Chain A
Amino acid sequence: MAQLTLDELRKKRKEAQKGIYLREGKYKSKIIVHMGTCGIAVGAREIVTAFLEEIEILTEKDVILTTSGCAGLCSMEPMATVELLNSPSVKYGNLTTDKARRIFKEHILGGNIVTDYAIGIGSEKGG
């Protein structure tokens, strides 16, 4: 490899930071896909893949994706919870990959709750 100049090093750093953003705990929004047995059975895995693909095209990587267990509302699976920083979390149900992509674009990037699919605002604990 050729030697780096100062600018190339800075560019490289920006590039590399995308690779490790998960470890630094800095993120603006968080998507939780509920992956209980019921969720997996009706396609939660595809939802995860869809979200991942959307994250991949982002230039600013500030979205993290995690999974959790069954949310208890098995009839509405696959479900996902979206948490934006400083605002209550929103639960979506009966997801498909297309719905997931729309939620990603409108809610996570745009900041507008997709009321068509939302089944509840706020989490059980926080109210």
Chain B
Amino acid sequence: MAVRRIELMLCTGTGCVAGGAFRISEALEKEIQKQGLEKEISVIITGCNGFCGHGPLMLVQPDGIFYGFLTPEDIPFLVQEHFLKGRPVKKLMFSPPEKKEPVPLLSEIPFFKKQLLIVLRNRGIIDPEKIDEYIARDGFTALEKVLTSMTPDDVINEITRSGLRGRGGAGFPTGTKWKICRAEQKMPKYIICNCDEGDPGAFMDRSVFESDPLSAMEGMIIGGYAIGASHGYIYARSEYPLAIKRMNLSISSAKDYGLMGKNILGTDFSFDLEIRQGSGAFVCGEETSLILSIEGRGPEPIQRPPFPAQSGIWGCPTVINNVETWATIPVIINRGADWFSKIGTETSKGTKIFSLVGKINNAGLIEVPMGITLKEIVYDIGGGIPDNKKFKAVQTGGPSGGCIPYSMIDIPIDFESLIEAGSMMGSGGMIVMDEDTCMVDVAKFFIQFTNDESCGKCTTCRDGSEALHKVLTDITNGDGKEVDLEFLEEVGNAIKDASACGLGTTLPNPVLSTLKYFRDEYEAHIKERRCPALVCKNLIKYYILPEKCTGCKLCLKNCPPGAIKGELKHIHIIDQSKCTKCGTCLDVCPPKVSAIIKVSGKEMENITGIEEPYPVKRKGGKNET
């Protein structure tokens, strides 16, 4: 391989690709050619770097300089200045919102500083489509070690000692699961990787397969060796085309090298992998239902026991683990259980990937040691809430989780603490909500979600979610009654008790946890007909402040239903009978004018919208424009 002086690690995760990463790479190649630098600089296409909120982005090695928000137009200047003349370009670097001076080095950016990369050790460093680069980063050393110096029982003991718990959400000890499966007499056995990442707001599985597909696969091969399986399935969502493409590439190159398939590395151990796709059903992330889906049967969860480890796919013992769990295995084998168990807390070992999204400055994917506090995640890594808004809550655990309020921001993140707080770890989605988020609306959103996704087998889940949804809709429409809150609690607890699978038993969590921590918001909706976050459409009105409106006609032109009356230099009036509350006017009103506000509750009574536009008059008759 020819030597290069600079390598440009260009992120091509789904986020950055959507932002035009491939256009950036074309522009880079073109400009590098133009400057005659093609022998000195190469562009490396890597997987997701994690800092998705700043994409398209790129890391310049060996200097370690980070550039974000790239556009093809920036490229010629960047290539000439930095790569030719050696002067890094400040305006493309990351600058924290409160500081003026940009931070050039990736390692210095607070977002990356507090992270500890184990599962994501190779993100942004290797080209996920080249197996050689994975091998160079100690890829398959764990497999070597296992095949040459460990018995299957050694492997299981090592994993058990490491204290690794399933990363899919429930946190079942991985070693124990493997042990149960190994003890089963029935053959053949199977390995499944659960990449049906249905939780809204979570994308760590996609990211692992997009940036380092082989690490999870190596974990699966090791798992196969440990339990005595020779066939594995990866069940992936069809919504992740790029991840599936990279899985396919990795499988075929690993087969070429004899790292998968018959007689791996010349031993008598064989292991094959196959990809199966989901078709957009949330419930298929539940393990029994995922297995039924691969088999081509109706994917309705079935009663456990028997657990899949005893009787899984095609009725055979099956170990099914999440992507993140599989990708952790090679590291544990390489560095040892003792090393791994030192990271994290007493009961939750190692690191966990979270997708930190929602109303947060540094949105992206982070890997942090267990036991880190929520505060560190939101403020140190996430950089706080945009526009100086107030932090309200963090939602974790997807539709099965709950909302953690500001008052509990100091809790450590581990399996037990989250459950105590009325939420759960889940697959690791962390959605930050600010004062503009209505908690009743969020609860309604989740119930709508589970109501849609309920497979319909259990009455409590199917009809219970319907009942909750109806009551929540009434409340957000301003038709709530005080008894509704008791009803929500009662029905919620009934659903918890009487549903068969994880989806049903955790479905009421978003409602119950918001009721616990944000009861005042529910009460405001019911008693005052007021939405404190100004979200629920039936409870708000848009209003143009006469003292601020400059009569520029911008909102008037953009209003989809044509509900705004006015003419140039006249105070505009919103005709409330026509307004659909789409919020376009608020978007288009220039920030320095910001004449449009939302009001709710008592204040709505005075707004009728029947006045006529009248001329703008300001101090000394001077108008702003």
Contact = CB atoms under 8 A, between A and B. Distances in A.
Contact of B62 (A22, A37, A52, A56): A22
Interface stretch (A59-67, A89-97, A107-115, A116-124): A59-67
Given A9-B140, A52-B40, A66-B62, A16 B3 contact: no
Contacts of A36: 85
B135 interface: yes
Nearest to B87: A69
B86 A66 contact: yes
Interface stretch (B173-181, B251-259, B347-355, B594-602): B251-259
A6 B266 contact: yes
B61 to A, nearest CB: 5
Interface in B1-46: 1-7, 9, 36, 39-40
B416 interface: no
Interface string B119-146: 0000001100000110111111100100
A52 B259 contact: no
A20 B85 contact: no
Interface in B127-170: 132-133, 135-141, 144, 147-148
A42 B83 CA distance: 18
A125 interface: no
B288 to A, nearest CB: 36
Contacts of B63: 66
B200 interface: no
Interface in B47-88: 61-64, 83-87
B86 A23 contact: no
B409 interface: no
Interface residues of A, number: 41
Given A6-B148, A9-B265, A35-B85, A65 B136 contact: no
A19 B263 contact: no
Tell me if B's interface is mostly helix, strand, loop or mixed. loop
A1 B256 CA distance: 6
26 contacts: A3-B261, A4-B259, A5-B265, A6-B148, A6-B266, A9-B135, A9-B259, A12-B257, A13-B135, A16-B132, A16-B136, A17-B136, A19-B1, A19-B133, A22-B7, A23-B7, A23-B9, A24-B125, A25-B64, A32-B86, A35-B86, A64-B62, A66-B63, A67-B5, A67-B84, A67-B85
A18 interface: yes
A97 B39 CA distance: 17
Interface in A6-58: 6, 9-10, 12-13, 15-20, 22-25, 27, 32-37, 40, 45, 48-49, 52, 55-56
Given A6-B144, A16-B132, A19-B136, A35 B266 contact: no
Interface of A: 1-6, 9-10, 12-13, 15-20, 22-25, 27, 32-37, 40, 45, 48-49, 52, 55-56, 61, 64-69
Given A9-B135, A16-B136, A56 B85 contact: no
Contacts of B138: 13
Contact of A1 (B133, B257, B265): B257
A35 B256 CA distance: 44
Contacts of B39: 49, 52
A34 B84 CA distance: 10
A68 B86 contact: yes
B84 A6 contact: no
A89 to B, nearest CB: 15
Contact of B133 (A20, A33, A35): A20
A20 B472 CA distance: 55
A14 to B, nearest CB: 9
Nearest to B5: A65
A66 B5 contact: yes
A4 B257 contact: yes
Contact of B1 (A13, A18, A27): A18
Which of B9, B84, B135: most chain A CB closer than 10 A? B135
Interface string B83-96: 11111000000000
B86 A69 contact: yes
B132 A19 contact: yes
Contacts of B5: 48, 52, 64-67
B214 to A, nearest CB: 13
A32 B86 CA distance: 9
A77 to B, nearest CB: 13
Which of B132, B138, B147, B261: most chain A CB closer than 10 A? B132
A23 B61 contact: yes
B90 to A, nearest CB: 13
A56 B40 contact: no
